[in-house]
Amino acid sequence: MSATAEHAQPGFWRHYVFSTDHKMIGKQYILTAVVMALFATTWSVLLRLHLAWPQAQWPLLGKLFPGLFQDGVLLPERYLSLVTMHGTVMIFFVISISLVSGFGNFVIPLQIGARDMAYPFLNMLSYWTIVPACLIMLASFFAPEGAAGSGWTAYPPLSALPDAAPGSGLGQTLWLFAMALFIASFTMGGLNFVTTILNLRTRGMSMFRMPLTVWTMFIASILGILAFPALTAAAIMLLLDRLGSTSFFLPSGLVMGGTVLPHQGGTPLLFQHLFWFLGHPEVYVLVLPAIGIAFDVVAAHGRRPVFGYRTSVWALVVVAVLSMIVWGHHMFVSGMSPYVGEYFSIATVSITGPFAVLALNLVASLWRAEIRLTSAMMFALAIVAAVGIGGVGGIFLATATSDQYLHNSYFVVGHFHLMIAVVTFFAIFAGIYHWFPKMFGRRMNETLGKAHFWLTVPTTIAGFVTMHFLGMAGEQRHLYDPSAYKFLEPVQWLNVLISILLFIPGAAQFLFLWNFFHSMVAGERVGPNPWQATTLEWTTESPAPHLNWGAELPVAYRGPYDYRLNGAPDGYEPQAAAPSAAALVTS
């Protein structure tokens, strides 16, 4: 094929800052997520310190965070702000932008054999919309009466009335504007992902030859496109309730400061429906890519083809479809016809079917595998464990009768942390250890990686599993001071235990960050394919160059997981390796 068009490499600003290269944009997302994670983790440390020792005074923290503490004690209204901001930032500005936007950007074109995204400029615009979104979200803390405090779900009336609580004022308005920018960015990204995957696959890369990471990014993008507009609509109506004195979500008879408010006829339940129409699919927008990464890492480091590739793809599709019609299980106690509740219960529990297929296929992929226990593989295996443990809790919450008791308790907090925090963070770690060589041309330190694993995985899982027991004992989420309730005294030690368990992985992340940044400059240099993996990204240099490959794009001759082939050199056959003449004759 003759090469006639030349693409010059960009200069410093276009390469590192206003880049249109998908790989740089992917790294920018991941680094932005790291910065936001530092904030969100710090807030969670303050929360856990307070929950474990609610009467203790922390004078040093009071000096470090003068707006949050009074006499060394975390203020109640600031506690709610920290809960809100921790949840919002972690879900949207850490996990979403690293796992989906970050890895999606970096991996998709490389795995499908494309030079870049379909719309590189739109891609850059998408990233540079996230940056002001992050800054506006953080600016919520500088609002005179504090950051948003109505929870990551922003339920009205707390979120709709600027005077309802300290965090309901300017802080909540900034929260809404930041979320609007996030939705705009995520929609642009999803549009780019879908177009790229459908249109820019290289020759031979049929849909059923795509690695499962790409499949999960594809499905997650479609889910985002379908679900996020509902939150956009809800946010616009909420803003009008706040600033335009409308009554979309505000009912009659609300009294504030002894005055009856003029709002009438609105229904907070409407907001909950719109929010959860996004909120539940959002869980799968995050969890599905984690499962995809687990499949890719398990196959490459287990040296075995993925078990049931096609059934996994169809299971992903079924999970995605079901995820769009089960949102009501978040609202069993909000006021719902028992018949509707029964439907939502049955639909939700039915997700366990296709999800079990995915989990069992992951486990079956380990059968007779030649497991290389790298850091990436260890975290991928931890994903399987976390999905299994977290999923069990979901069955109790999906059932309306048991949810009546467990709703809004620490059982829920433990469950969703296991599913959309632990599973996704493990996937982020597995993905970084796995693709780091392709990002930077170097390998991360394996000893530090394994130390990171052992300090992170058992303690995190134990911490969030313990929260389930706290919930069963009756401790409510959002509770500022557990010591205020006599019936919670016998289980307060669990709060102490949880905090200690979770501080360990919190501290261990500095080990990971040191390994990450140190390895960028001093890690062992590697060649194009350090893991002897099959997928297309491993056919180009490490780090992947501008436009990903030289003059010719690779061609996909086979599926993504051809491992353990007796006749093949090294026992595996890269997707891009042309079949030999002998193989063609045999076939």
Partner 1 sequence: MTAVAVAPAERPAPREQYPIALAAVLVTVAMLFTAFTSALVIRRTGADWVRIPLPPMVWANTVVLILSSLALERARAAAKGDATSRIADWLGVTAALGVLFLVGQLVAWRQLVGQGILLRTGPHPAFFYMLSAVHGAHVLGGLGALGWTGRRARAGAYGAAQHDGLTHTAVYWHFVGVVWLWLLAVLSTL
Which residue of 18, 53, 65, 119 would you call a contact of partner 1, by CB under 8 A? Answer: 119
Report in angstroms how near the CB of residue 391 gets to partner 1 at its nearest: 28
Taking the alpha carbons of 288, 291, 293, 296 in that order, is the dihedral positive or negative?
A: negative
Q: Closest Cα to residue 51, out of 456, 508, 498?
A: 498
Q: Tell which positions 248-267 bind partner 1, by CB under 8 A.
A: 248, 252, 262, 264-267
Q: Diameter of the chain by CA atoms?
A: 88
Which residue of 125, 191, 392, 511 would you call a contact of partner 1, by CB under 8 A? Answer: 191
User: 51 or 220, CB closer to partner 1?
Assistant: 220
Report in angstroms how near the CB of residue 335 gets to partner 1 at its nearest: 13
Q: What is the 3-state secondary structure (H, E, C) of 477-527?
A: CCCCCHHHCHHHHHHHHHHHHHHHHHHHHHHHHHHHHHHHHHHHHHCEECC
Cα 551 from chain centroid (whole Å) = 36
Which residue of 59, 64, 135, 199 would you call a contact of partner 1, by CB under 8 A? Answer: 199
Q: Give CA–CA dist 421/410, Å, rounded.
A: 15
User: 251 or 571, CB closer to partner 1?
Assistant: 251
- Residue length, the chain? 587
Which residue of 36, 200, 205, 384 would you call a contact of partner 1, by CB under 8 A? Answer: 200
Among the listed ranges 85-93, 111-119, 206-214, 424-432, the one in contact with partner 1 (CB under 8 A) is 111-119
Question: Which residues, including other chains, have CB under 8 Å from residue 126's CB and lie 6 or more apart?
Answer: 25, 101, 185, 186, 188, 189, 192
Which residue of 7, 253, 259, 586 would you call a contact of partner 1, by CB under 8 A? Answer: 7
User: 224 or 523, CB closer to partner 1?
Assistant: 224
Q: Tell which positions 515-574 bind partner 1, by CB under 8 A.
A: 545-547, 550-553
Could you give the string, one character per residue 225-244, with x where binding to partner 1 holds by CB under 8 A and - elsewhere? xxxxxx-xxx-xx--x---x
Q: Which contiguous run of DSSP H or E holds residue 256?
A: strand 255-256
- Give the 3-state secondary structure of residue 150: coil
Structure tokens at 178: 């930041």
Does 115 sit near partner 1 (CB under 8 A)? yes
User: 391 or 554, CB closer to partner 1?
Assistant: 554
Report in angstroms how near the CB of residue 205 gets to partner 1 at its nearest: 13
Does 321 sit near partner 1 (CB under 8 A)? no
Q: Give CA–CA dist 419/442, Å, rounded.
A: 31
Among the listed ranges 97-105, 189-197, 368-376, 423-431, the one in contact with partner 1 (CB under 8 A) is 189-197
Which DSSP string do the residues of 36-97 spell out, in sequence order?
Answer: HHHHHHHHHHHHHHHHHSTT---HHHHHHSTTTEETTEE-HHHHHHHHHHHHHIIIIIIIII
Report in angstroms how near the CB of residue 411 gets to partner 1 at its nearest: 30
| Number of residues binding to partner 1, judged by CB under 8 A | 56
Does 155 sit near partner 1 (CB under 8 A)? no
Q: What is the CA radius of gyration of the chain?
A: 24
| Binding region for partner 1 (CB under 8 A) | 1-9, 11, 115-116, 118-119, 187, 190-191, 194-195, 198-200, 225-230, 232-234, 236-237, 240, 244-248, 252, 262, 264-267, 270, 273-274, 277, 545-547, 550-553
